[in-house]
Structure 1
Amino acid sequence: MVFRFVKNTAVAVSVVTAFAFNPAVAQDQYPSKTTTLVSPFAAGGTNDYLARAMAKKLESTLGKTFIVENRTGANGIIGATYVAKNKGDPHVLLMGNSATHGTNITLYPKTSYDAIKDFTPIGMVGAVPLVMIVSSKLPVNSVQELINYAKANPGTLSFGSSGVGGTGHMTGEKFKQATKMDIVHAAYKGDGPAVADVIAGQIPVAFIGATAVIPHIKSGRLRVLAVASKNRSSSMPDVPTFAEAGVKDVEFSQWYAIMAPADIPKDAATKLSAAVTDAVKSPEMKQAFATQGADPITFNQQELSNFIDEEIAKFSKVIKELNIRVE
């Protein structure tokens, strides 16, 4: 018998209880082991960069190791599914974004995770605004000049994006709808190739995350005509919003937020959420955001939950309205 040296039954019970899992103790001590923060996109991109910066700061704040693991593929679905399957475990987190918890729900109706039921929202991290860029070879310096150029040269313009169904594609289609411009979409496999072709003059226009264009703006190889956010970006304060440029209802961004699996202990979620908010406000993270052309955002759990609901509804409407499909 396991307790053959314990003669008193009451003592035996107390021994068992002492070694049994105690949820209250576990929550108070969170994190109690290494935490994995999954980045569902490849290393080198903004999602991965911000995940690593956040992991480093959270490790310093919470006193336990945080590591970043890239589980890529299927527009973030593979990484998100992995985290969703770790139900109840606050030591497996996701750097979610506008794809995993925004567009995928409508673009991939049979996806292997439920963006609402399978996750616990922890805290917003930040957003990278979508911008409209044009080749320096194109003789336009404002949104209105581009519209006038398109009218004077019908059928000659195309716009690039990082791929079908991405936020850049949606921004371009929404702009096209609002302005009634004659401009055709050219899908690329990422922001980089699209930016390269704009610089080379292969395509005149692109709708791209600000991260990919900041160095080229500074060098003068690209011009930014507008930013697709409600307010001007802190990283590009001189660039007008689409609304300021006279085009309404073109507001999209690539946003990033930390998500945990469903059913994690409430105390652990609260502690982690507070740590994420403090991290986003820290000087280290502000510097990290600046290098990526990103704007820090601090949403608590409820605010993030509400925001995700709004984003899913917004993207669903746009995708159906513009008949955007992933082949």
Structure 2
Amino acid sequence: MAALFSRRKLVIAWSIALAVCGVQAQTLDGPLTLVVGYAPGGSTDRMARLIAQQLSPRLGVPVTVENRPGDGGRLAAQQVKRSPAGQNILMLGNPAVMVVAPLVFKDAGYDPDKDFVPVSQVSSYDFALAVSPKLELDRVMFLLGRLWGHPEDAIFGVPATGSLPHFFGLMVGDALSIQPQIKGYGGSAPLAADLMGGKLPIAIDTVDSLYAQHLAGKVRILAVSGKERSSFAPTLPTFRESGLKIDATGWNAFFAPSSMPPAKVQLMAAAIREVMQDAGLRKASDALYLKPVVSTSAETVQMIKTFRQQWEPVVRRSGFAP
């Protein structure tokens, strides 16, 4: 009986030890900072804050979001790049910062491949082609017919020149066999205002920037860029459903400075994957019109590679220079 009791104590001791090791394996050695290169309030910022709330209990440390706006997100990348190896810091980056900027700037102030390590993609988003209600069109093919007859209407408004909607607009133009005039605005708000007011016939922007106005009947989204319809906008057809062989998505992903130890990167990646499977967070992502993504570091690397293969030729052909 004494031997049995001793064995039981040994089993319990080992169980406690393994449990303790498991907890320690999922914690960091200090607080974690999630850097967003844009001002508070945008969809990227709100996604970072949703994730921070879920990450903290999983990692066992405080997790805060720090906004470092400036230069279209490049300022944050430049600062995170210089972070010391021991600092727990991640940047929530997007294609504008990690793919487009290094292509169009002679020196973006960082090298996305050398200075950063992809940790985990957390969301994707679609682009939308929308028209002013004054055009009284509800299908892409009807728009194409109008543009062939009225080429002066082939003006695509985008939130900013050099933005992803700008280059997606060029993709749409290629698919429609037209050469649109790209008109850049100082953000999504003035773009939507001109579209609603009839001063602009056509706009290309992210779905989250136009969907509320579409629901209110102030603009009309004709197609979205995903391979399949969005769960939060199931009535909106894709470009492929509309007869155009085109699809494209943007994304948000966490990046660590290359100085961070690989074991720590993998620890954070595993915790983020767990967070992105949470039902509550996925529902909240729908409210932001973002598609939540569960991704490993290797899958994120491959995603970025595929994205570059699709977008880099478009960016280079455009001849765009800031």
Query: TM-score, normalization: structure 2?
Result: 0.88
Of residues 287, 292, 297, the one that matches 1:291 is: 287
By how many angstroms is 1:203 displaced? 0.4
Q: Please give the per-residue CA displacement for 1:144-182, whole angstroms capped at 9, x wherever unaligned.
A: 000011112221341111111111111111111221235
Matched position secondary structure for 1:255: strand
Q: Is 1:156–2:153 an aligned residue pair?
A: yes
Q: Take 1:149 and 1:323, find their aligned partners in 2: how far apart are those partners?
A: 28
Superposed, 1:56-205 pairs within 5 Å as: 56-89=53-86, 91-181=88-178, 183-205=180-202
Matched position secondary structure for 2:320: coil
What's 2:268 paired with? 272
By how many angstroms is 1:105 displaced? 1.7
Out of 84-93 and 37-46, give the one that drifted further. 84-93
What's 2:220 paired with? 223
Out of 29-38 and 126-135, give the one that drifted further. 29-38
Matched position secondary structure for 2:151: coil
Q: Take 1:182 and 1:37, find their aligned partners in 2: how far apart are those partners?
A: 40
Q: Take 1:289 and 1:309, find their aligned partners in 2: how far apart are those partners?
A: 25
8 Å CA contact 1:142, 1:225 repeated in 2:
yes
What's 2:229 paired with? 232
Identity of aligned residues (%): 28
Q: Is 1:306–2:291 an aligned residue pair?
A: no
Could you list the runs of 4 or more consecutive aligned residues of structure 1 that deviate by over 6 angstroms after TM superposition? none
Matched position secondary structure for 1:132: strand
Q: Which has the higher helix share?
A: 2
Q: Take 1:51 and 1:220, find their aligned partners in 2: how far apart are those partners?
A: 30
Matched position secondary structure for 1:213: helix
With over 3 angstroms needed to count, the CA separation of the structure-2 counterparts of 1:89 and 1:254, relative to structure 1, is farther
Q: Take 1:125 and 1:232, find their aligned partners in 2: how far apart are those partners?
A: 19
Of residues 254, 258, 261, the one that matches 1:258 is: 254
User: Amino acid of the residue matched to residue 34 of structure 1?
Assistant: P
Q: Please give the per-residue CA displacement for 1:122-159, whole angstroms capped at 9, x wherever unaligned.
A: 11100121111111221210000000111122213411
User: Amino acid of the residue matched to residue 32 of structure 1?
Assistant: D
Matched position secondary structure for 1:137: helix
Q: Take 1:61 and 1:131, find their aligned partners in 2: how far apart are those partners?
A: 36
Query: TM-score, normalization: structure 1?
Result: 0.87
Out of 29-38 and 120-129, give the one that drifted further. 29-38
Q: Please give the per-residue CA displacement for 1:184-203, whole angstroms capped at 9, x wherever unaligned.
A: 21101212211121111110
Q: Take 2:128 and 2:40, find their aligned partners in 1: how far apart are those partners?
A: 22
By how many angstroms is 1:324 displaced? 2.5
Out of 37-46 and 228-237, give the one that drifted further. 228-237
8 Å CA contact 1:171, 1:228 repeated in 2:
no
Q: Take 2:276 and 2:67, find their aligned partners in 1: how far apart are those partners?
A: 21
User: Amino acid of the residue matched to residue 198 of structure 1?
Assistant: L
Q: Take 1:322 and 1:97, find their aligned partners in 2: how far apart are those partners?
A: 20
Superposed, 1:13-28 pairs within 5 Å as: 28=25
Q: How many residues align?
A: 300
By how many angstroms is 1:325 displaced? 2.5
What's 1:324 paired with? 320
Q: Please give the per-residue CA displacement for 1:215-235, whole angstroms capped at 9, x wherever unaligned.
A: 212211121111112222222
By how many angstroms is 1:312 displaced? 2.8
Out of 219-228 and 236-245, give the one that drifted further. 236-245
Matched position secondary structure for 1:293: coil
8 Å CA contact 1:106, 1:315 repeated in 2:
no
By how many angstroms is 1:90 displaced? 5.3
User: Amino acid of the residue matched to residue 221 of structure 2?
Assistant: V
Q: CA RMSD in A?
A: 1.8
Q: Please give the per-residue CA displacement for 1:20-64, whole angstroms capped at 9, x wherever unaligned.
A: xxxxxxx94742221111101121111111111111111132221
